[in-house]
Structure 1
Amino acid sequence: MTAANKSVPKRSATVTALPRSSSPSSAAAFDPALPAPLRQARLTATLPPPLQRLLAQGRTDRRPRFGDDGFDGMIELWSPPDGVTAAEATLARQSLEELYATVLAPADSDHLLGRVLTLLSHFPAKGLSPEVERMMALDWAEDLGEYPAWVIDAAARSWRRSRKWRPSIAEMRALCEELCAAERALADRLGALAAAAPRDARGTDLQAVATGGLRRMGGMG
């Protein structure tokens, strides 16, 4: 009887020590009201420890970017460390899929259209019929449809509080890109890890599999 009683806390301690058991999901840990660096740090903390280690060991290079008008600032390119295993690449793929299914999931079409119509109503345009206004809003919804609801909401809030004129679609897209840059950067790094695995013992090119999966998700640049 005494031996049986002693075995119970041992099993309980083993369960609570599992790496993922006490880690919140990316959706539970995400708070769009936080500053971007803190949002990224909290999302990274929800990843399995092996992925956190690989992300910390990666290399970041800064390179100049050139546009149509010449020099357009510096960009950061992240490269995964050497030796990423097939199991780690699979783990990165799973975490990336979760990120795109939660934090980076595109906004619901009804929510997006309602947000666009509301934003445009703050800056009424003269001479446009209600039907034309609605058609314009549909164009907006199509062109902003890749962004999550929290990004659309934050972009609309930022614009109406800081500008006195109607935004263009290009201006809103640029603002949305800026607002979710930290989350997309994390997704890019997970994608790089997912594509970094070597060929397995059967000769399967895991890098091609990972790249194909990311391309189907449509979120990687």
Structure 2
Amino acid sequence: MTVRPRSAAPGRATVTALSRPHLPTSPAAAFDPTLPVPQRRIRLTAALPPPLQELLAQGRTDRRPRFGEDGFDGMIEQWFPPAGVTAAQAALARQTLEDLSETVLAPADSDHLLGRVLTLLSHFPAKGLSPEVERMMALDWAEDLGEYPAWVIDAAARHWRRSRKWRPSIAEMRALCEELCAAERALADRLQALADAAPREAAAPEPLAQDPRTLATGALRRMG
């Protein structure tokens, strides 16, 4: 006797759900500052909308020498978007750039910045400074490093503690911060180039940013 498998009831079908990989909804969801620079760049680019990924891959990069007051100062790269960027693509690039600027590249909170700076400088104490001079120095640090994200300042302070034996200068810390976020800023520059590649509608003027020294003074007061 041959036994046949029972067929499904008429009008019914068995549906098997397929799992899909989680896709980040914004560059911030894919960003991990602890990763090496190449991996951070790959993850951020992969988190962008596919149309922007295609446009970035189609762009052109030119390298040319840069000259300063002391002569040759290395090579500089300039990226150019491909031809034919549409208004919709430019708007998408603008929206993605705003998201990146408000998350990954958002400036550090003034309290966090001053706390990190004062802690770093305490590892390299300077003698003979009055409290007023120290306060003014802290305001200078807050003003000159206020454009960098918290993760950049944290990484710069950690790098300096582990590799230097002397007190850092603001110029040295700025150079280190620039190096640490160069990949993320380069991506932001390319998104800006895409956003500017097509006309946009007129927008209302944005409010003026608050003076960094005002923010730093308020943070010092809160910190006592």
Which TM-score bucket, shorter chain as reference?
A: 0.7 to 0.9
Residue 2 to residue 140, structure 1, CA distance change in 2 (3 Å): farther
SS in 2 for 1:177: helix
Q: Deviations over 1:162-189 (max 9, x none)?
A: 1111111111111101100000000000
1:47 and 1:32 map into 2 onto residues whose CA distance is 17
SS in 2 for 1:76: strand
- On the 8 A contact 2:56/2:81 being kept in 1, the answer is yes
2:42 and 2:202 map into 1 onto residues whose CA distance is 28
1:22 and 1:116 map into 2 onto residues whose CA distance is 36
1:122-137 equivalences in 2 (<5 Å): 122-137=123-138
Quick check: 1:118 aligned with 2:119?
yes
2:149 and 2:63 map into 1 onto residues whose CA distance is 28
Q: Deviations over 1:184-205 (max 9, x none)?
A: 00000000000001xxxxxxx4
TM-score by length of 2: 0.80
1:172 and 1:144 map into 2 onto residues whose CA distance is 8
1:193 and 1:42 map into 2 onto residues whose CA distance is 20
2:150 and 2:98 map into 1 onto residues whose CA distance is 18
1:52-91 equivalences in 2 (<5 Å): 52-91=53-92
- On the 8 A contact 2:33/2:40 being kept in 1, the answer is yes
Note the C-alpha offset of 1:37.
Answer: 1.7
- On the 8 A contact 2:107/2:150 being kept in 1, the answer is yes
- On the 8 A contact 2:23/2:47 being kept in 1, the answer is no
2:154 and 2:172 map into 1 onto residues whose CA distance is 15
SS in 2 for 1:84: coil
Q: Which residue does 1:156 correspond to in 2?
A: 157
Q: Which residue does 1:195 correspond to in 2?
A: 196
Q: Which residue does 2:3 correspond to in 1?
A: none
- On the 8 A contact 2:90/2:197 being kept in 1, the answer is yes
* Structure ID, larger Rg: 2
Note the C-alpha offset of 1:2.
Answer: 6.6
Gaps of 5+ in 2: 1-8, 210-224
Gaps of 5+ in 1: 198-204
AA at the equivalent of 2:136: M
SS in 2 for 1:89: helix
1:1-221 equivalences in 2 (<5 Å): 22-197=23-198, 205-206=199-200
- On the 8 A contact 2:116/2:154 being kept in 1, the answer is yes
Q: Deviations over 1:108-150 (max 9, x none)?
A: 0000000010011111111002332122112101110000000
SS in 2 for 1:74: strand
Which sits farther off after the overlay, 22-31 or 61-70?
22-31
Q: Percent identity?
A: 77
TM-score by length of 1: 0.81
1:2 and 1:152 map into 2 onto residues whose CA distance is 65
Q: Which residue does 1:200 correspond to in 2?
A: none
Residue 127 to residue 79, structure 1, CA distance change in 2 (3 Å): same
2:10 and 2:202 map into 1 onto residues whose CA distance is 53
**Structure 1 residue ranges (4+ consecutive) displaced by more than 4 angstroms after TM superposition:** none
In terms of fraction of residues, the more helix-rich structure is 1
Q: CA RMSD in A?
A: 2.6
